[in-house]
Structure 1
């Protein structure tokens, strides 16, 4: 069992000892980029992260290895209070898989500059960087409980502005952000549903899909019952 502290070399050697070609094939079936993958599940990586502990400098070095599992450990063991915008931008240049992006998004919403990142990343033309912006919105609606509803309602125009981006990993994140805003509270539900209905009638195919899918969930009995409760 790895103890803490552990070096990057020791951690990578341990990861390599757990290689699973079967798991790598399974990841590929879920659209996870497997370049540099060893084939370790995220629950198992989270266990390793708990054993080795948080170490921000080491996390940055783990990211630089380019190994999928090492990068997930970097996300799990980095310190959001220590992350700098320059470090985040360096990471974003490597974004190439929805799985890495969504895990990183949860970490990034814990930084003090997460709102600035959303503004920056949403305006970036790279598919996975733009996805990161909307994954952050989706995650923050759930995790940043002290944030006022108005913060998320204010993101609806940004969602509308990018609802016509047809790229698979962008449109799914835009849809996710819209649905999560609508499910956050009664206050958020009305404006999010109104935008969903508007998008559902769009002449643009992507925007129409995003809107119809969001309307379906936000009008569902399960969501409405929870909000009333």
Structure 2
């Protein structure tokens, strides 16, 4: 897989994601096939495994085993966005993985938190903000961006209390003495400001009957 997307893996054929999705679509919910594909170790096979697996059959043990094999952000984020966030054990894994030391393991914790928020799943988002604040100084690229993604996702929730809490967290981070924490906070605040401006403009148009 080429450097264009920042994904560096040795076992890859270079098959486009659209082709993988087309192959996987008629095979969905085949748990045994998904496990076999994952075990192959090939990048595209693992993406197909994620798309094919049956979320109802995914166990906490499988989540940990697959997570231990994450070595690039493409597989990490796809697993969280397309499969793991539909698994009942997902909220518990957020807290576990967010405290890991390896880069992609920790990335998975915050990517999963972001995906739960984006997809409207039930989770402890206030607790998630504490995890975000605790990891905001981790300067490793994929952890930093995962933390930022999760903060922005929680700040985009409709719940007023969560929106306020996310903005308060971002403000504290933006005022931090730590460079990485400041980046996380300032970037999230910029995103919140843009989203709030768009929402205000939409409300004005609606009020005028545009």
1:30 correspondence with 2:19: no
Mark the CA change 1:170 to 1:86 in structure 2 (over 3 Å): closer, same or farther: same
- The question of whether the paired residues in 2 share the 8 Å contact of 1:183 and 1:223 is answered with no
Given that 1:197 and 1:212 are in contact with CA atoms closer than 8 Å, whether structure 2 keeps it comes out as yes
| TM-score normalized by the length of structure 1 | 0.82
2:166 matched residue in structure 1: 192
Task: Tell me how far 1:72 sits from its aligned partner.
Answer: 0.2
Distance 1:49 1:154 in 2: 35
* Correspondent of 2:67 among 84, 88, 92: 92
Q: CA 1:69 to 1:197, structure 2 compared with 1: closer, same or farther past 3 Å?
A: same
Give the length in aligned residue pairs: 200
Which of 98, 110, 124 is the equivalent residue of 2:100? Answer: 124
Partner of 2:47 in structure 1?
Answer: 72
Q: Which runs of 5+ in 2 are unaligned?
A: 204-210
Pairs within 5 Å for 1:39-78: 39-78=14-53
1:31: Cα distance to partner? 0.6
1:167-187 CA-to-partner distances (Å, cap 9, x unmatched) read 000000000100111111251
Match in the other structure for 1:16 = none
Q: Are the equivalent residues in 1 in contact too, given 2:28–2:51 (CA < 8 A)?
A: no
1:214 counterpart (167, 181, 188):
188
Q: Is there any run of 5+ residues in structure 1 with no aligned partner, and where?
A: 1-23
Offset of residue 147 of structure 1:
2.5
Q: Structure 1 segments of 4 or more deviating over 6 A?
A: none
Counterpart pick for 2:85 among 109, 125, 139 = 109
- Considering only aligned residues, what root-mean-square deviation do their CA atoms show, in Å? 1.6
Q: Tell me how far 1:224 sits from its aligned partner.
A: 4.0
- Name the residue aligned to 1:141: 117
